[in-house]
Amino acid sequence: MSSFLKKKFGQNFLIDENILNKIKDLIPKEKLDILEIGPGNGKLTDKVITKRPRLLTLVEIDDDLIKDLNLKYSIYKNIKIIKSDILKLNLDRKYNLVISNLPYNISSQILVKLTLLDNNPKFLILMFQKEFALRVLDKKLNSINSLVKCFYKINLNFHVSRNCYRPIPKVDSSILTFKKLTKNLIDKNEVNNFILFKRKLFSQKRKSLKNILKKYNLNEKFNLDLRVENLDLNELIKIFRAINL
């Protein structure tokens, strides 16, 4: 590849063939419409192609990498390449699967965007910085997993050593898979208010719910002596709905 790595895009390329094959094997079946975010040098893309996607859309922000990708995949009629910032791109097409070795610096923003799409994908296969992945998986609620778990069941598949990348980053990574819930825990018309509600609670997470929500008459319905992180998700949603009725 002719392109050099650019720190502003958080570029660290996965080069370990064993890990690349393990990620490819997580794709549940062939003939899917797949979106790959930040294909970079195409190492993972080459593996995805072996799963015979019906459509594979590649979204890459780097001009130099786009040139290389266009040259490399010009013979494939089922591959569409888009030069764009994924956070600014209107994802109006429904994809069965999104796969990505996400840039660490915007991984949370991308995860939230995918989660809140009107046609959010049935499956996500995403690689995160290990520390962030553990936050998403945490049994205790936090600002990110309290939203994502309203829409997806999340699984840890495996961790990835920093030595599997070039250049070598300072941290290890983790592969998580997300499977869309049969029924969302919150409705579309509740999403914006729920985000504001949880943001308020987690910005004061060291306080008890009794102190944060003292202006509401909830004492008889809920255990407000707890902190927000000690609630289960269904209880958090019940409190949210009691306030927003």
213: burial class by Cβ within 10 Å (0-12, 13-18, 19+)? buried
pLDDT recorded at residue 221: 80
d(CA 65, CA 148): 31
Where does a domain end: 180, 211, 228? 180
pLDDT recorded at residue 168: 92
pLDDT recorded at residue 4: 46
pLDDT digits (tens, 9 = 90+) for 159-204: 999 999 988 999 999 999 999 999 999 999 999 999 999 999 999 9
> Do 157 and 222 lie in a common domain?
no
Low-confidence ranges of the chain (pLDDT < 50): 1-9
Task: Answer yes or no: are the C-beta atoms of 240 and 231 closer than 8 Å.
Answer: no
pLDDT recorded at residue 7: 45
> Do 35 and 139 lie in a common domain?
yes
Q: Would you say residue 1 lies in a domain?
A: no
Its domain, for residue 204, covers 189-244
Q: Which residue has the tokens 């266009």?
A: 70
pLDDT recorded at residue 11: 65
Q: What's the CATH code of the domain at 116?
A: 3.40.50.150
Output the CA–CA distances (angstroms, integers) from residue 165 to 14, 170, 243, in the order listed. 4, 10, 47
Nearest to 82 by CA among 69, 71, 95: 69
Q: How many domains are there within the chain?
A: 2
